[in-house]
Amino acid sequence: MTGLTRRRALMTLPIAGAGLAGFGCWKMLSAMQDGSFDPRAIRLDKNERPIPDFVLPGIPGLGDGFDTSMLRQATQPVLINFFASWCIPCVAEMAALRVISQRIALWGIAYKDKPDDARRFVSRDGSPYRRTALDQSGMTAIDWGVSGVPESFLVLPGGQIAWHGTAALDETQFEQHVLPIAAGTR
Amino acid sequence: MTRKSRRLWLVLSCLACFAVASGLVLNAFSSSIVFFMAPSQILREPPAVDRVIRLGGMVVAGSLKRSLEGQTPINQFDITDGQAAIAVRYEGILPDLFREGQSVVALGTYLKGSPFSASEVLAKHDETYMPKEVADALRKSGKWDPRFGKPPSAESLDSMARHDTDAQAHR
Amino acid sequence: MFFLGPEEGHYALAFACVLALAQFILPLWGAARGIRLLLDMASRLAFAQFIALSYAFVSLIACAVGDDFSVQNVAANSAISKPLLYKITGVWGNHEGSVLLWALILSLCGGAVALLGRGLPLILKARVLAILGGVSTGFQLFCLLTSNPFARIWPAPADGQGMNPLLQDPGLAFHPPVLYTGYVGFAVPFAFAVAALIEGRVDAAWGRWVRPWAVAAWCFLTCGIAMGSWWSYYVLGWGGYWFWDPVENASLIPWLTGTALVHSAIVVEKRDALRIWTVLLAIASFSFSLSGTFLVRSGILNSVHAFANDPARGVFILGLLAIVIGGSLALFAWRAPGLSAGGLFAPVSREGGLVLNNILLCALCAVVVTGTMYPPFMQILTGRTLSVGKPFFDATTIPLALPLLAAMGLGTLLPWKRGHLLPALRRLRIAGVIAAIALIGGSFLLEGILPVLCAAAALWVIAASVVDLASKLGLRGGLHVLRQRLPRLPRAVWGSTLAHIGIGVTVLGITGMSQAQHNVVEIGLGETIHQGALDWTLLSVRQEAGPNYRALIADLSVSKHGRVVATLHPSRRDFESQHQVTTDVAIRTNLMRDLYAALGESHGQGSSARYVLRLHNNPLAPWIWLGGVVMALGGALSLSDRRHRFGAPRKPSQAVAGEGS
């Protein structure tokens, strides 16, 4: 009988192994979907890092731009959002940004965009951004480590990047990831 | 030969073989795994001199210099991750889509004080190499929808995407 | 096309899915209750499903050929200006179309079992078809729900977006169908294994039924891998043939378990031993085929050549895998302990040799799986990004492959049940001498110790196979023995000998390739590069306009000791409309070596212009793929053996034991 039990144990090994592998894959897939795991990620930077130096002009008709020192001197956490008028997820993201902008200071940077397009895009249904700037060459975005738009960064007073989101923001993500960090510094 | 001794023989040979296999794997892991590092990481904690690493980041605009040593072409450029930049030296043909301001991965070794010596450079925007990376970034950025097939090339991006949004805005 | 529109195709696909579901449920029910009518329906449903799916596939091709750009898939992957051949092959050059092709091949396998399995017991056949139907249902649902190839877009664009110029290549066009046939072909042994587990009986007859299917799938997979490797050699222009890329590993893993399956099925057939193990291998081969594709498509593994990935699709495939693999392994855990143990054999015997082959192949497989899966698992566990490449695989696979090669030469000479090493070794004297000469000669000629060992092992395998064949033909006994034995020697023996020789040829090719000389140089017109005994001279560079590209063509002459041996014309094509540059490699082969040249970028203008060139001298390179072809031929030859035909009738002695369940 012990022989048979041992045999049974042996025969369950394959499914146990497959189950473990399957569980791991499931973990990876779900982590890939919420953006916390990216097998092709280039950067490994920890989120805590200072903001890069930049000076950006404003979008014509929407006030002046901003630069590193203004961001550093902010007294509240600021959520920086890179967007572009030609980017379809950014259009979709706008609705969520309007809600989010009620709860945090939201500054926008238009990435590789025509000034007129960017202005129309931002002001079409009311701008969610307190300040906007235009990064026409895309070089500032490179310094920040943007790999595409939309991406968002949470900048703490003093100019530390505390969080980096590489996908379109929604309210749940905002409440889960951004708000706790921002609230901790207030 | 009894059933038991035959089984013992089988089990032993299995075990021996898998012991050898795991020994080989562990040995290879300790010596030939390639870690992925960003320039700031390499500068902060330089890897062992003989250790091959993958260096990933963006090519700093205006940093690419070409020269010749005898008949061998030498390329030198800087790779940055936004926090630090590191010089890279590479002998050979750069990938077709290697461009300044774009992501690349360089495979090679690093000795403190001298440029990163790359044995291989892969341009991340090179469709002949890693189309998926680009695809992913593009999809995330909305410049490309997988339902519409192959990702567009780097240059055509802006015009194409703008055209799409225009079409949408007119509807 | 009137009857072949996208709606018709979509409908046919949905209809095929319903048929597949019926093919899954009805025969299983019939087998459990003993309802003859339902058992008989299995074959008919399999045929009907194949016809419906073919209709769907032909509709998709018709959409592509007829430039119906209202179909999203066609709009994204085709264009009016594309040549007809690539319009057709482009159908499976993308995710949706390839899933449909996959499903089509699966239903083709079902149809083949229904047609060729006339000799099978009714219940077993019904169950096998039911399992195939179940897997088909899953894939067709996947196709319908997450990757519908017939989805429409509105408004339809005037012209499609075309296809990557790199993919407009005949080699790549026919590579996927062959490779998929290899992957999907393992569904049949898988279905046989699951059916046997349900029935609770595995015997020699089962081994004989499974083997031809496993061999057929193995042949296609071998061809598919060889074609893929050849493609990356002559298209990518890096001078390499195997990059240990996840996609390549995903095809190598089922090939290794499939090779083990082909061999262990022999033991089941001839000696009625290793039954449970063979069942497990049959399940594993198909499981690895499926999960390899899953890992690549879902984007968990990062690959050179792959379709766009989508984690959402990945979740669906993972669910499908959980049902197919988890279900079959659960059944295995439940039923396999009840299977009776097989026959006895001594360690030194043909069975023993085949067991050793299995163990080593599985160890190789485990090593490749580890190397492929380690990076993503490590990343999710520790957050550290790392990659495992050629050095890892070289350090682990070669030491395992060498004893495998050594055992290969010896194994076929051992008798069944019990043998002795010494007589077998004595018969292999000549092979041993050849290997020893290779060892000594190689250590002077070749660089590094591993290539020398590989070359010796490869020659040992080839020589041992020939010696084995000669002794089976009775060459020593003179001409009249030969005349007697030659017609009676089973084709399976020729087949296995050929396949073993093929392995040896491939290993020789790989060894030769490791001695390749290559230079990357930047030279001007008229300059010469010395590479070993060869002199490469850049004669001229000219511009030429193609249909949709501009080409820069270099004329290189290669001379040896002052005598011109070849002129090569590598070129670089600039597809302006797609902003893409492709490298057209020039290869000149004489079967003993490849001269390989690729043209890189150019600097400067006019007569002072300099060109970057990649120049290779690859000894024995063509042998790598030649060996693959020989292996596949060997498999095909053994399939043509009368005893191994698909669904060959059982031996009369086992007919009684085979009834009922």
Between C283, C318, C337, which is nearest A4 by CB?
C337
Q: Give the integer Cα–Cα distance in Å for C206 and C167.
A: 42
> Coil, strand or helix: which one is C521?
strand
Phi-psi category of residue C272: left, alpha or beta, with phi > 0 → left and psi -120 to 50 → alpha: left
Do B136 and A166 make contact, defined as CB atoms within 8 angstroms?
A: no
Q: Give the integer Cα–Cα distance in Å for C125 and C210.
A: 12
Q: Could you tell me if C310 and C299 are in contact, meaning their C-beta atoms sit under 8 angstroms apart?
A: yes
Amino acid, res. C168: Q
A90 touches chain B (CB under 8 A): yes
> Residue C284: closest CA among chain A residues belongs to which residue?
A14
pLDDT at residue B82, rounded to an integer? 62
Share of chain C above pLDDT 70, in %: 93
Which residues 6+ apart lie within 8 Å of C381 measured at CB? Answer: none
Do B140 and A52 make contact, defined as CB atoms within 8 angstroms?
A: no
**Burial level of B102, CB count in 10 A (0-12/13-18/19+)?**
middle
Residue B137 scores a pLDDT above 60: no
| B83 and B145 assigned to the same domain | no
Residue B148 scores a pLDDT above 70: no
C87 touches chain B (CB under 8 A): no
Amino acid, res. C338: G
Token pair of A56 as six digits: 């950006």
Instruction: Say how many CB pairs under 8 Å bridge A and C.
Output: 75
Q: Which residues in chain A have their CB less than 8 angstroms from residue B130's CB?
A: 40
Do C385 and A44 make contact, defined as CB atoms within 8 angstroms?
A: yes
pLDDT digits (tens, 9 = 90+) for A100-109: 888 888 999 9
In a domain, B150, yes or no: yes
Q: What is the CATH number of the domain that holds B56?
A: 2.40.50.140
Instruction: Say how many CB pairs under 8 Å bridge A and B.
Output: 86
Between C312, C333, C380, which is nearest A31 by CB?
C380
| B85 and B151 assigned to the same domain | no
Count: domains in chain B: 2
Residue A35 scores a pLDDT above 70: no
Mutate to test the interface with C, among A1, A10, A32 (most CBs of C within 10 A): A32
Q: Could you tell me if C557 and C579 are in contact, meaning their C-beta atoms sit under 8 angstroms apart?
A: no
Q: Give the integer Cα–Cα distance in Å for C353 and C355.
A: 5
Confidence of residue A64 (pLDDT cuts 50, 70, 90): confident
From B90-104, C118-132, C224-238, C428-442, the region with the lowest mean pLDDT: B90-104
Do A148 and B138 make contact, defined as CB atoms within 8 angstroms?
A: yes
Q: Which residues in chain B have their CB less than 8 angstroms from residue C78's CB?
A: none
Q: Which of B161, B31, B155, B47 is nearest to B96 (CA)?
A: B155
Token pair of C506 as six digits: 């491939």
* Domain-wise residue ranges, chain C: 1-163, 396-515, 517-622
Chains that touch B (3 or more CB pairs under 8 A): A, C
The stretch C539-568 carries a mean pLDDT of 89
Q: Give the integer Cα–Cα distance in Å for A21 and A36.
A: 19
From B156-160, C105-109, C256-260, the region with the lowest mean pLDDT: B156-160
Print the SS3 string covering C266-297. HHHHHHCCCHHHHHHHHHHHHHHHHHHHHHHH
Q: Could you tell me if C498 and C633 are in contact, meaning their C-beta atoms sit under 8 angstroms apart?
A: yes
Q: Could you tell me if C267 and C240 are in contact, meaning their C-beta atoms sit under 8 angstroms apart?
A: no
Phi-psi category of residue C126: left, alpha or beta, with phi > 0 → left and psi -120 to 50 → alpha: alpha
Q: Give the integer Cα–Cα distance in Å for C623 and C506.
A: 6
Strand bridging mode B33-37 / C386-388: antiparallel
Amino acid, res. C40: D
Do B81 and A145 make contact, defined as CB atoms within 8 angstroms?
A: yes
> Residue B35: closest CA among chain A residues belongs to which residue?
A44
Q: Dmax over Cα atoms in chain A, in whole Å? A: 85
C339 vs C452, higher pLDDT? C452
Q: Give the integer Cα–Cα distance in Å for C461 and C337.
A: 37
A13 touches chain B (CB under 8 A): no
pLDDT digits (tens, 9 = 90+) for C426-442: 889 999 999 999 999 99
Q: Dmax over Cα atoms in chain C, in whole Å? A: 85
Q: Mean pLDDT over all residues of chain A?
A: 81
**Burial level of C624, CB count in 10 A (0-12/13-18/19+)?**
buried
pLDDT at residue C290, rounded to an integer? 92
Q: Which residues in chain C have their CB less than 8 angstroms from residue B28's CB?
A: 391-392, 395-396
Backbone angles phi and psi of C239, in degrees to 5? 75, 5
In a domain, B141, yes or no: yes
CATH architecture label of A49-185: 3-Layer(aba) Sandwich (3.40)
Chains that touch A (3 or more CB pairs under 8 A): B, C
Between C284, C315, C332, which is nearest A11 by CB?
C332
Q: Which residues in chain B have their CB less than 8 angstroms from residue A143's CB?
A: 82
C510 vs C419, higher pLDDT? C510
Backbone angles phi and psi of C475, in degrees to 5? -60, -30
pLDDT digits (tens, 9 = 90+) for C555-566: 999 999 989 999
Q: Could you tell me if B81 and B59 are in contact, meaning their C-beta atoms sit under 8 angstroms apart?
A: no
Q: Could you tell me if A108 and A129 are in contact, meaning their C-beta atoms sit under 8 angstroms apart?
A: yes
Strand partners, C571: C553, C584
C485 vs C656, higher pLDDT? C485
The stretch C505-517 carries a mean pLDDT of 93
C423 touches chain B (CB under 8 A): no
pLDDT at residue C36, rounded to an integer? 92
Q: Give the integer Cα–Cα distance in Å for C493 and C497.
A: 6
pLDDT at residue C459, rounded to an integer? 96
Mutate to test the interface with B, among C267, C280, C579 (most CBs of B within 10 A): C579
Q: Which residues in chain A have their CB less than 8 angstroms from residue C287's CB?
A: 18
CA dihedral B95, B101, B104, B110 (to 10 degrees): 110
pTM for the complete prediction? 0.81
Between A86, A142, A148, which is nearest B158 by CB?
A86
| B44 and B117 assigned to the same domain | yes
Angle subtended at Cα C487 by Cα C485 and Cα C492, rounded to the nearest 5 degrees: 95
| B72 and B135 assigned to the same domain | no
Strand partners, A134: A110
ipTM (interface predicted TM): 0.84
Between B6, B128, B136, which is nearest C344 by CB?
B6
Q: What residues make up the domain containing B90?
A: 35-123
Between positions 20 and 79 of B, the ones with CB within 8 A of C are 20-21, 24-25, 27-29, 31-36, 52, 54, 66, 68, 71-73
**Burial level of C422, CB count in 10 A (0-12/13-18/19+)?**
exposed
Q: Dmax over Cα atoms in chain B, in whole Å? A: 85
List the C610-619 sheet strands across, edge first: C517-524, C610-619, C593-603, C586-589
Confidence of residue C273 (pLDDT cuts 50, 70, 90): confident
Q: Give the integer Cα–Cα distance in Å for A108 and A101.
A: 11
> Residue B40: closest CA among chain A residues belongs to which residue?
A45
**DSSP label at A55?**
B
Share of chain C above pLDDT 90, in %: 55
pLDDT at residue C655, rounded to an integer? 37
Angle subtended at Cα C9 by Cα C4 and Cα C15, rounded to the nearest 5 degrees: 130
